[in-house]
Structure 1
């Protein structure tokens, strides 16, 4: 969409920009995000992008974009793009390699995990400045008493569990993290259990099998084939973000 109100003869008109001059977030030398929005390039119109660099097992934390669709294009390396379909309650996991894309509809809960070092992703948005709600903000800013009461949890345990989240994470795990974790990318695709194909199992049973076979993360990822794969996660309700927690990338 063209910027119809733009005076393209003005001295302030911008036609080029260097992404490395526009940092959004930096975790370390291998994990960082640069941004390009209408703030950096005033002729951009109704589009924007993030230039994302990740090393193995680093995660663009779970989040939503309430004002734009996101097209994730893999330039180098590889990543798993996970999307929660709020209508079917399915967690869809797509492994993308260079030249492949995954599309995230506007307002859908999603995250990206690098499966290789030197992963380079380009996230393209149909908004001049994409807005975002991060999962870490929802977890740390929602009172533990509300979470405990709403979901019938132990408030003390909720406080203890969420206490380390003191700021917006954006790229996880944080550098301060010392917890031993199973690398998510090292999991083999959860296609069968004891010779039984997932499609032959009753709904919900492969979740129990996964808990028996593996500890930690469960990412039943696969290459893009055009087919869907159901993850029977305990998601009884669609995710409803807290609207006042949004922030802008740019």
Structure 2
């Protein structure tokens, strides 16, 4: 028997909006409900709100399997299958779900404004390993020796990553993109926020339209089975 259930002060209600895990800006933030906030809980979760083009950065969990449930808006989830060496990508709408097995590398990109997701874990509190931390703490000499990449180029590429990035791109990044577009005299993409790349920019080998009639399934045209 869970001792929390035997407590005379037991409460079986909590507010997942109260504790902010991370806030990028007023429209992009994550709140949480874990054992620290709600002791009886058996499956903690993040309540995630995103704007179009914002990414829940690449990361993995050492102790939990994660279920992503879309409440509103659209998002694309990607997870690397270490057994088949394949990237499994799914476009999700309201009511649809995707799963990230424990230890599998994954990320989420919002395809619409005001997207809301629940990322539900099978343990009360997840461990998180951020890809940004791996990149910024990997010595350039090790990157060069391990992957035969140019050490100076690697150091320059990861230099802007000065802290853990949870919701990206980091503030200011879109301004840099705007400056680059202006320098190349490239107009914004039609139908998107100014200077926000289209869906294909996140997945260059994928075609954003047409989409299959079963969006919860992998897309053959994306090159994934």
CA deviation after TM superposition for structure 1 residue 7, in Å:
4.8
Deviations 1:81-126 (CA, angstroms, capped at 9, x unpaired): 0111111111111000001001111111100000000000000000
Q: Distance in 1 between matches of 2:205 and 2:118?
A: 22
The verdict on how the C-alpha distance between 1:80 and 1:143 changes in structure 2, with shifts beyond 3 A counting, is same
Q: Distance in 2 between matches of 1:51 and 1:231?
A: 28
Q: Distance in 1 between matches of 2:48 and 2:202?
A: 26
Other-structure match for 2:199? 186
Q: Distance in 2 between matches of 1:4 and 1:219?
A: 49
Which stretch has the larger CA shift, 158-167 or 171-180? 171-180
Select which of 145, 154, 160 maps to 2:156: 160
SS of structure 2 residue aligned to 1:179:
helix
Counting only pairs closer than 5 Å after superposition, residues 42-191 of structure 1 correspond to structure 2 as: 42-45=39-42, 47-177=43-173, 178-180=175-177, 183=196, 185-187=198-200
CA deviation after TM superposition for structure 1 residue 141, in Å:
1.0
How well do the aligned residues superpose, as a CA RMSD in angstroms? 2.3
Deviations 1:192-215 (CA, angstroms, capped at 9, x unpaired): xxxxxxxxxxxxxxxxxxxxxxx7
CA deviation after TM superposition for structure 1 residue 29, in Å:
0.6
Other-structure match for 1:197? none
Residue pair 2:48, 2:118 contacting (<8 A) in 1 also: yes
CA deviation after TM superposition for structure 1 residue 216, in Å:
6.8
The structure 1 segments of at least 4 consecutive aligned residues displaced by more than 6 Å after TM superposition are 230-233
Q: Distance in 1 between matches of 2:18 and 2:218?
A: 40
Q: Distance in 2 between matches of 1:10 and 1:86?
A: 46
The verdict on how the C-alpha distance between 1:86 and 1:40 changes in structure 2, with shifts beyond 3 A counting, is same
Gapped regions of structure 2 (runs ≥ 5) = 179-194
The verdict on how the C-alpha distance between 1:61 and 1:40 changes in structure 2, with shifts beyond 3 A counting, is same
CA deviation after TM superposition for structure 1 residue 144, in Å:
1.4
CA deviation after TM superposition for structure 1 residue 4, in Å:
1.9
Other-structure match for 1:35? 32
TM score, norm. by length of structure 2 = 0.82
SS of structure 1 residue aligned to 2:128:
strand
The verdict on how the C-alpha distance between 1:216 and 1:103 changes in structure 2, with shifts beyond 3 A counting, is closer
Deviations 1:21-49 (CA, angstroms, capped at 9, x unpaired): 1110000011000011111001113x110
What is the aligned residue count? Answer: 202
Other-structure match for 2:189? none
